[in-house]
Structure 1
Amino acid sequence: MQASLIVLDRKTTGVINSALLGLGLFGFCLLGIFTRPGADLASFWPANAFMLGMLVRFPSLANPLSWICCAVGFAAADLITGSTILNTVVLNLGNLTAISAGYIVFQRLEPADRRLARPASVLFMLVAIGVAALTAGVIGTVADPFLFGGAPLDALLYWSATEMVNYVAFLPMILTLPDDPLNRLQRIIDTPLDIMKLLPLLALAGTAVAGAVVGGPGAIAFPVLALLWCAVTYSLFATACLAFAFVAWTLLAIATGYLPVADNTADRATLLSIRFAVSLTGVAPLVVASVMAAREELLQRLMFLSNHDQMTGLFNRSAFLENAARRLRGGRSHDFATFVLMLDIDHFKAINDQYGHAAGDRVIIAFAELLKRNVRKNDIVGRMGGEEFAAILSECTAREAQVIATRINTVFAATPVCLEDGSAISATVSIGMVAAASPSIGIEPLLAMADEALYAAKRQGRNRVITPHQA
C-alpha cells in the first residue's frame, strides 16, 4: 500500500511539473508577442529556448504530457492576444518542430556538453541551435509567404536568424542552471560585498547606457569588452545570465526605439543584420566563460591530485601533515584533547604475495573507505604510504578516541574484502594512539610516538589498539 502511494506521489509531481512548464511557456509567449513589430515575428521570443532548455536540463520533463502542456501554452498565448486559428496552428507547429529538432541533437551530446562544462560545449550547443534555427527557417519558407507575404529565401534567413538569437540569449542560462540555485543564492547573499567584483557588472551597465545615448550601428558592440570582463570574473551561469540580459536589452531597446541603430529597423534586411550581430556578440562571453570554467575545474582537479592519494582519495602524506599541523595549532579546550592514530594493515606483504598486488590494492581501498566511515566528519585521515595510514581525532575525550580506534579495529577484522574473482579475504589492522599533551608539540613528534605504540601493538600480537603507557 505504501509503495503505491509513493508511485502516485511521483505521478502527481510529474503532472504538476508538466503543467508548470506549460504555464511558464505561456508567460514567455506573452512576453514575446508583445514585442512583435506589427504582423511579423516577435523581436524577442524566448519561449522556444525556454522549452528546449527545460527539456534538456531536466530530463524528467521530456514526456508526452509536457509536450501537450507546452502546445496548449503556445496556442493559448496566441489565441488570447487575437491571433487567428490558422496563424496559431502554423506558427506553433513550426515552434514545436524546431524545438524537436534541437532536442534530438542535444540528446546525442555528452551530459557535460549539455551543461556547457567543456570548452567545445558552446560549439556543440551552437550546432544544436543551428539545427533548430534552420528547421524554423525551412518551415518559414512555406509559412512566411502564406502568413506575411514574404519571399521564401528571405523567410529562410529571417526566421533562422530570429530563432538563433533567441536561443543564444536564453538557452545557455537554463543549461548552466546550478543544481542547488537556492543554496547558491544564499551563499552569495551571505558573502561580504566586494566592490571590485561589481566593477565588470557596472561596466556592462555603463556601456549599455552609453550605447543608447550615442546610438548608431556600432552601439551594439559597446558592451563587448564589459561582457568579456564579466566572463573572466563571474561563473558560467552568471555570465550566461548577463549575456541574456545584454541580448534581451538590445533587442527590446531596438524594437522600442531606445537604442537607435538604424533609420528603418522595420526593414527585414536590417533586422536580419542586427539579430545576427546581437547573437554573435552574445556568444563571445559564453565561449570565454566556458573555457574559464573548464580551466577552473582542471585547476581544482590538479589541486586535488596534488593533495590526495590517487588510490584511496585520502590526504597524501604531505597534505595530511599540513592539515594536521594546522589543526594542532588551533589549540585545545580544557575538557578535550587531540589524538593521533597510526594504523597499519597486518601481514600486508603476505597478502600481496599470496593473492597478488591487485588484491592488496583492494584491501587498501576497502580499509580507506572503512576508515572514512568510522571517524567523525571533522577528523583528518590520510594515507602515509603503502599500507600505513594516520588520523587526527580532535576535540574528543580519551574514552571517545578509544571507542573510535577500537571500532575501526573491530569492524575491519569482521569485514571480509571481496576480490575480483568473487572470493574474499580477511585482514586486520594494528593501531597506535597518542594524545597531544600540548599544542606546542608538533605533528612529527606525535606521529613518532604513535608509531612506537603501533609497533608495540605488532609485537604484542597485532590486531589491537595500543597507547604509549600500554607499550
Structure 2
Amino acid sequence: MFSILTRSPAALATIWPANAVMLGLLIRFPRLANASGWLGGVAGYLLADLITGEDPVRLVLLFAGNLAGIIAGYLLLSRVERRNLKLRDPRSLHHVTAAIMFAAFAAGLVGTIANPLIFEGSSWQGFLFWFATEAVNYVAFLPVLLTLPAPRRRRLRYPLAERRYARPPLNAGMLRKLLPGLSLVVGLLLATVIGGPGALVFTLPGLFWCGLRYSIPVVALLGLLTSCAVLTEVNHDHIRLLEGIGSQAFALSVRLGVALITLTPLYVATVIAERNEIVHNLERLASTDPLTGALNRRAFFHRGERLMRLLARQERQVAVLMLDIDHFKQVNDRHGHAGGDRILQAFTHTIRAQLRDGALLGRFGGEEFAILLPIVAEGDGAIVAERLRAGVGQLRLLDQSGQVLKATISIGVVEAQADATPLTDLTNIADRRLYLAKRNGRNRVEWGERKAVQR
C-alpha cells in the first residue's frame, strides 16, 4: 500500500517489495503455495489498487506485470532443492539470481505492452525499465526472506541465577565487529555529500567488507537497507549523480547499478560461508572420533583448558567425569565389533541427550570417555553422573542376529573450582576414582571430598 501511494503517475514505484515478499513467502513456506494462498495474494494486490483509486486499465496492466514475475520466479525456485535456497554457497546464489532475472524478464515482457499504454513510451524502453525495476527489488528483498533464520527456543548455557555471564560487556572485539557496518554508513554519507557519477559505488567497499565479516542473513539485510537508502536518496535528489535525473533512461541505469552492487556482497558472503564450512568440516574431522562424534583426546584437552580459563574468570566450579563401559570386551566377543560399535554409538547418543549446553564429551580410547561440565554447587557432578549411569543402564538394542545388547557404565567424578586444579590433574583423579568404581563392583559412581582436589 505504501509503495502504491509513493508511485509516480509517470513511472513505476522506486521501492516495490510486494512481489519479492509474496514470492519469498511461497518458497519459504510451501504450504502457502496452494489455491488459497495464490488467491489471497491476488486479492491483496487488487484490493490495494482499488482502495487507492487506480485506473482500471492501469490496474490490470500493473497487476499482470506483478503476477507474471511472481509466477516466473516461482516456477524456477520451486524446482530448486530447499538446501540450495539458503544461499550458503555461490551455486545456491546462482539459482536464486537466475530466478530473479527470469522473474524480471517476465515482468519486462508485460512492460512492452504496458509502457506504451500507461507511460506513452516505447515497448523496448518498457521492457528495460520494468526489467530493471523488478530486478532491483527482487535482489534487495528476496535474499532477506530466504535467509531469515527461523525463530527457535534457545537453550540456556547457564542456570537462570547466572544468566548474566551470557551477556559480555561491550569491548574492543565487539567494536571491531561493528566497523564494517560503520564503513557502510560512511559510504552512504559520502555519496550524499559528494554526489557525482561515482556516488553509487561509494557504498561498495563497505558492502564488500560486510560480506567478508558478517553472516549471510546480515549481509542480505544490509544490502536491502543500502539499496533502499540509495534509491530513495537518488529519487529525492539528495544524491546528485548527473543532470537529467528525471529521465527513464537515468532511472533504468541507477536501478540496474544498485541491483548489481547489492548482489556483490552476497556473492562474497556465500564464498566465505562455503570456505568456513570446509574449514569447519576439516576441523571436525581432525578433532572428533569418527564413530561416536565425541572429541578426541587432544581436542578435549584443548577445548577443555579454554573452557576452564573462561569459567575461572567467572569464578565457576567444574566437574570432570571419567566413564568406562563395563565388560566391553565381552560385548565385542559375544556380539562382534558391529555390536560393540552400536553400543558405543547408543552410549554417546544417550550421554549427549542428558548433558546441557557447555559440557564437553571426549573419547580417550576404546570404551573410555571423559566429560567436563560447569556446575553450580558441590555434588552436582555426582548427580549428573548418576543420571548418566541410569540412562545408559536402560539401553536395549538388537544385534544382527536379534540378540539383545545392553550395557552398564562405571564413572569416576571429581569437582573443583575452575582455577584450583589443572584439567590434566582433574582427569587423573577422576580416572583413579573410575578404577575404584570398577573394583567396587562396576555399574556405580565414585566421587570423593572436594578438599582433596583443591589447593
Return the TM-score normalized by structure 2. Answer: 0.82
Match of 1:103 among 45, 49, 74: 74
The 3 A distance-change label for structure 1 pair 138 and 419 is farther
Spell out the pairing of 1:222-371 with structure 2 (5 A cutoff). 222-325=202-305, 339-371=319-351
Distance 1:147 1:397 in 2: 75
**Structure 1 contact 243–282 (Cα < 8 Å) conserved:** yes
Match of 1:18 in 2: none
In structure 2, runs of 5+ residues without a counterpart are 155-163, 450-455
Deviations 1:366-423 (A, max 9, x none): 1112223445655543211121112346547776555543443344233212446765
Partner secondary structure for residue 90 of structure 2: coil
Count of residues in Structure 1 that have an aligned counterpart in Structure 2: 436
Spell out the pairing of 1:315-464 with structure 2 (5 A cutoff). 315-325=295-305, 339-375=319-355, 379-392=359-372, 395=375, 401-419=381-399, 424-434=404-414, 440-459=420-439, 462-464=442-444
Match of 1:125 among 93, 96, 104: 96
> Could you tell me how far 1:91 is from its partner in structure 2?
1.6
Q: Determine if the alignment matches structure 1 residue 218 to structure 2 residue 184.
A: no
**Structure 1 contact 133–161 (Cα < 8 Å) conserved:** yes
Partner secondary structure for residue 342 of structure 1: strand
Q: Determine if the alignment matches structure 1 residue 113 to structure 2 residue 87.
A: no
**Structure 1 contact 211–219 (Cα < 8 Å) conserved:** yes
Q: Determine if the alignment matches structure 1 residue 31 to structure 2 residue 31.
A: no
Partner secondary structure for residue 463 of structure 1: coil
The 3 A distance-change label for structure 1 pair 31 and 181 is farther
Match of 2:170 in 1: 192
> Could you tell me how far 1:92 is from its partner in structure 2?
1.0
Greater CA deviation, 434-443 or 388-397? Answer: 434-443
**Structure 1 counterpart of 2:170, which letter?**
P
**Structure 2 contact 65–108 (Cα < 8 Å) conserved:** no
> Could you tell me how far 1:102 is from its partner in structure 2?
0.6
Greater CA deviation, 132-141 or 199-208? Answer: 199-208
**Structure 2 contact 323–411 (Cα < 8 Å) conserved:** yes
The 3 A distance-change label for structure 1 pair 391 and 162 is closer
> Could you tell me how far 1:343 is from its partner in structure 2?
1.9
**Structure 2 contact 412–446 (Cα < 8 Å) conserved:** yes
**Structure 2 contact 410–437 (Cα < 8 Å) conserved:** yes
**Structure 2 contact 318–418 (Cα < 8 Å) conserved:** no
**Structure 1 contact 32–47 (Cα < 8 Å) conserved:** no
Match of 2:38 in 1: 67
Greater CA deviation, 135-144 or 412-421? Answer: 412-421
Distance 2:411 2:153 in 1: 44
The 3 A distance-change label for structure 1 pair 190 and 167 is farther
> Could you tell me how far 1:99 is from its partner in structure 2?
0.5
In structure 1, runs of 5+ residues without a counterpart are 1-26
Distance 1:59 1:379 in 2: 37
The 3 A distance-change label for structure 1 pair 181 and 385 is closer
Partner secondary structure for residue 203 of structure 1: helix
**Structure 2 contact 139–262 (Cα < 8 Å) conserved:** yes
Deviations 1:140-164 (A, max 9, x none): 2233334334333332222212211
Deviations 1:75-101 (A, max 9, x none): 233223332122212321331221122
Match of 2:13 in 1: 42
> Could you tell me how far 1:217 is from its partner in structure 2?
2.8
> Could you tell me how far 1:235 is from its partner in structure 2?
2.8
Distance 1:332 1:143 in 2: 68
**Structure 2 contact 363–369 (Cα < 8 Å) conserved:** yes
The 3 A distance-change label for structure 1 pair 160 and 438 is closer
Deviations 1:164-199 (A, max 9, x none): 11111222222222224999xxx9998627544444
Distance 1:232 1:201 in 2: 11
**Structure 1 contact 162–272 (Cα < 8 Å) conserved:** yes
The 3 A distance-change label for structure 1 pair 302 and 192 is farther
Partner secondary structure for residue 258 of structure 1: coil
Deviations 1:46-69 (A, max 9, x none): 221122122223334434333333
Return the TM-score normalized by structure 1. Answer: 0.79
**Structure 2 counterpart of 1:247, which letter?**
S
Distance 1:218 1:33 in 2: 30
Distance 2:147 2:373 in 1: 39
**Structure 2 contact 199–241 (Cα < 8 Å) conserved:** yes
**Structure 2 contact 292–345 (Cα < 8 Å) conserved:** yes
Partner secondary structure for residue 381 of structure 1: strand
